[in-house]
Structure 1
Amino acid sequence: MMTIWRYLYDKRMWIVFQLILLFLLNVLFFVDNAIILHRDALIYMNVLYGTGVVGFFVWQYRMEKPYYKALIEIVHNPAIDVLAQLPHANTYEQQLTQQFVASLIKEYQQTLSETKQAYLDQTEFIHAWVHEVKAPLTAMKLTLDANRHDPSMRKIAADWTRIHLLIDEHLHLSRIASLDRDYLVQQVEAESLIIQEVKTLSSWCLEKNIAIEIEGENPALLTDEKWARFVLRQLLTNAVKYSPVGGMITIESGVRENIPYISIQDEGKGIPAKDLPRIFDKGFTGQTGRKQNAATGIGLYVAHTIGEKINMTIQVDSTVDVGTTAILSFSKPNHYDALTT
Structure 2
Amino acid sequence: MKLFLREQRPVIMIYFVQLIVVTFVYWLDGYRNVAVSLYAVLLSSCLLTGYLVFRYMTHRSFYRRLEQPVASIGDFTDVKPESPLSEALHRLLKLQYRHYLSELNEHTEKIESHIQFINQWVHQMKTPISVIHLMIQQESDPRSMAIADELDRLRKGLDMVLYTARLDLFEHDLYVETLALEKVVRRATSTQKRLFIRGKVFPVLHMEQQLSIVSDEKWLDFVLTQLISNAVRYTTKENGKLYFRANQEGGRTILEIEDEGIGIPGSDLPRVFDAYFTGENGRKFQESTGMGMYLAKEICHKLGHEIELESIEGKGTVVRILF
Match of 2:220 among 228, 239, 244: 228
Q: Residue 288 of structure 1 is aligned with which of 278, 281, 284?
A: 281
Give CA-to-partner distance per residue, 1:299-327, whole Å, 9 cap, x none.
11111111011111111111111111111
Q: Letter of the aligned partner of 1:236 in structure 2?
A: I
Contact persistence 1:159–1:204 (CA under 8 A): no
- 1: distance between equivalents of 2:279 and 2:184? 28
User: TM-score, normalised on structure 2?
Assistant: 0.92
Which residue matches 1:334? Answer: none
Provide the C-alpha distance between the structure 2 equivalents of 1:29 and 1:44, rounded to a whole number of angstroms: 14
1:1-341 residue pairs with structure 2 within 5 A?
Answer: 3=1, 5-33=2-30, 36=31, 38-69=33-64, 75-78=69-72, 80=74, 84-88=77-81, 90-91=83-84, 93-147=85-139, 149-218=140-209, 219-244=211-236, 246=238, 247-330=240-323
Q: Matched residues in 1 for 2:94 and 2:80: separation? A: 13
Separation of aligned partners in 1, 2:188 and 2:234: 17
> How many Å separate the matches in 2 of 1:78 and 1:175?
26
Give how far 1:245 is off.
Answer: 5.6
Q: Deviations over 1:263-302 (max 9, x none)?
A: 2211221111111111111111111112212211111111
Deviations 1:167-224 (A, max 9, x none): 1112111112222233222221122111211122111221222222222323112211
Question: Which SS does the other structure have where 1:11 is aligned?
Answer: helix
Q: Distance in 2 between matches of 1:200 and 1:303?
A: 18
In structure 1, distance between residues paired with 2:287 and 2:182 = 29
**AA at the equivalent of 2:183:** S
SS at match of 1:152: helix
CA distance in 2, matches of 1:257, 1:188: 20
Q: Contact 2:4 / 2:63 at 8 angstroms: preserved in 1?
A: no
Task: Determine the C-alpha separation between the residues in 2 that align with 1:209 and 1:70.
Answer: 67
1:258: how far off? 3.1
Q: SS at 2:5's partner residue?
A: helix
Q: Distance between the aligned counterparts of 1:257 and 1:251, measured in 2? A: 20
Partners of 1:278 and 1:164 in 2: how far apart? 27
How far the C-alpha of 1:77 sits from its partner, in A, is 4.7
What secondary structure is seen at the aligned counterpart in 2 of 1:317? strand
CA-to-aligned-CA distance 1:248-275 (integer Å, 9 cap, x gap)? 2122222233321222211221111111
Cα distance in 2 for residues equivalent to 1:260 and 1:150: 43
Aligned to 1:333: none
Structure 1, 200-209 or 275-284: larger mean CA deviation = 200-209
Contact 2:278 2:289 in 1 (8 A): yes
How far apart, CA to CA, are the structure 1 residues paired with 2:65 and 2:309? 51
1:95 Cα shift?
4.3
- CA pair 195-231 structure 1, distance change in 2 beyond 3 A: same
Which stretch of structure 1 is more off in the superposition, 135-144 or 93-102? 93-102
Partners of 2:246 and 2:173 in 1: CA distance: 26
RMSD of aligned alpha carbons: 2.1
Task: Report the AA paired with residue 259 of structure 1.
Answer: R
Q: Percent identity among equivalent residues?
A: 25
Q: Secondary structure at the match of 1:146?
A: coil
Alignment coverage as a number of residue pairs: 321
Which structure 2 residue ranges, 5 or more long, are not aligned? none
Alpha carbons 1:264, 1:325 under 8 Å: kept:
yes
Deviation per residue, 1:108-133 (Å, 9 max, x gap): 22321222122112101111111110
Q: Matched residues in 2 for 1:89 and 1:50: separation?
A: 25
CA contact (8 A) 1:71 1:87 kept: no
Contact 1:316 1:327 in 2 (8 A): yes
